[in-house]
Amino acid sequence: MTSPFPARPHHPGDGWVTGANGAKYWGVYGAAGLLAYDRGRGVLLQHRVEWSHFGGTWALPGGALYDAGETPMEGAIREAQEEAGVPNGAISPRAEHVFDVGVWRYTTVIADVVDPFEPVISDPESLELRWVPVDEVDSYPLHPGFAATWPTVREALEVRPVVLVDAANVVGSTPDGWWKDRPGATERLLARLAALSDVPAGDLGLGLDVWQPVFAVVVEGQARDVEAGPLPVFRAEGSGDDEIVLRAEQLIAEGSRVFAVTSDRELRRRLEQLGAEVRGATWLRDRLPTADAMAPVLEGASWIGMGATGFFGKP
């Protein structure tokens, strides 16, 4: 019988890895899966065909990394597109969990659905694709690997980190001539923030391994009319400090975990009273891409005017 699906090409990463205890793991360069989370429908699960490893169980769309150069993020998204038809731009990565046995790693990429879609079985590895409410996942016969990981990643679904940046304070903390062109210095900061995606979990005091928090920026004064690019930018009509406090209060009320970045002591006190966590300007500067690394990006920046998507799948 002819398969309705086109033959899947063999990838360099296809193959088994054997651990010291004899356990076998699929993916010469490791593997990754996508946990797509829709706050209204739950998580996207794949019912695996019987002939697959632990066939008949439910797990995440995913598979072996293509080659040594593919990142787990790239691999998880590619596999989810190949197996479940996840459209480009439909998800926004939030965090990564890594299961590491030394000779092999599996990365679970947690991503929020920002543009709702219906999954499509697009290769022969799935019996069914289904949105499963979070509270019902445990009732399914799960792949053992996913079953072991699920309690940890489920807890992380409720953590929505936002790094709220006091642009004036961060720009003013570096004696690089910013006072000659405050708008230009602020736009350079925005570009560097847009290029900063992965933050080690330990840097935020969070679980899992890596987070991709939302970076939101408050601008004021001469820098109030800068181009936003892909980041959410809040433009203070009056006091920048008051705007930061207002936005932090709103975000916390919406369920976000707010990490404010400022070295202003009085502002820190106000933010901590709200329940926000505060990091100094140096904390952020130490994690930003260097000016040299950003030079090609700044020279050919094409993101101006793109606007920003909603936080965690909200419009």
- Write the DSSP assignment of 1-38 as a string of letters: ---SSPPPPPPTT-SEEE-TTS-EEE-BTBEEEEEEEE
Predicted pLDDT at 291:
65
The pLDDT, as a whole number, for residue 78 is 96
Domain 16-156 has CATH 3.20.20.80: no
pLDDT of residue 157: 96
Which of 69, 79, 66 shows the shortest CA–CA distance to 33? 79
What does the chain come to in residues? Answer: 315
What is the side-by-side order of every strand in the sheet holding 161-166? 233-235, 214-219, 161-166, 257-261, 277-279
- Distance, in Å, from the CA atom of 193 to the CA atom of 165, rounded to the nearest integer, reads 10
Residue 301: its pLDDT value, please? 44
Helix axes 265-274, 240-253, angle to 10 degrees: 20
- Which distant-in-sequence residues (6+ apart) come within 8 Å of 23 by Cβ? 101
Report the C-alpha gap between 303 and 296 in whole angstroms: 13
Provide CATH 3.40.50 ranges for the chain: 161-307
Q: Which two tokens stand for residue 199?
A: 């933050």
Distance CA 312, CA 293 (A): 29
Percent of the chain residues past pLDDT 70, beyond the cut:
89
pLDDT for 109 beyond 50: yes
Query: Which segments of the chain belong to CATH 3.90.79.10?
Result: 16-156
Amino acid at 277: E
One-letter amino acid for residue 304 of the chain: I
Give the Cα separation of 5 and 8 in Å (integer): 8
| Cβ–Cβ < 8 Å for 1, 56 | no
Query: 155-175, pLDDT tens digit by residue?
Result: 999 999 999 999 999 999 988
Arithmetic mean of pLDDT over the chain = 89
Cα 268 to its chain centre, rounded Å, is 26
Q: What is the mean pLDDT of residues 169-185?
A: 91
Residue 304 pLDDT > 60: no
- Ranges 37-46, 99-108, 291-300: which has the least confidence: 291-300
Residue pointed to by tokens 């065909």:
49
The pLDDT of residue 309 is above 50: no
pLDDT higher at 315 or 260: 260
Q: Which of 103-117, 135-149, 222-236 has the lowest mean pLDDT?
A: 222-236
3-state secondary structure of 192: helix
User: Residue 66 forms beta bridges with which residues?
Assistant: none
Residue, of 218 and 175, whose pLDDT is higher: 218
What is the reported pLDDT for 262?
Answer: 98
Burial group, residue 2, by CB count within 10 angstroms (0-12, 13-18, 19+): exposed
**Residue 177, burial from CB neighbour count under 10 angstroms (0-12, 13-18, 19+):** exposed
State the pLDDT confidence band at 8, using cuts at 50, 70 and 90: low
| Residue 1 in this model has a pLDDT that exceeds 90 | no
Q: Residue 313 CB: number of other CB atoms within 10 A? A: 21
**Measured distance CA(18)–CA(7) in Å, rounded:** 26
User: Under CATH, to which class is 161-307 assigned?
Assistant: alpha beta
Is the confidence at residue 9, as pLDDT, over 90? no
CA distance 310 to 257: 16
pLDDT for 305: 30
List of residues 6+ apart from 260 with CB closer than 8 A: 163, 164, 165, 166, 244, 248, 267, 268, 271, 276, 277, 278, 279
Q: How far apart are CA 15 and CA 28, in angstroms?
A: 5
Per-residue confidence (pLDDT) for residue 114, from 0 to 100? 96
Question: Which tokens belong to 188?
Answer: 């350079």
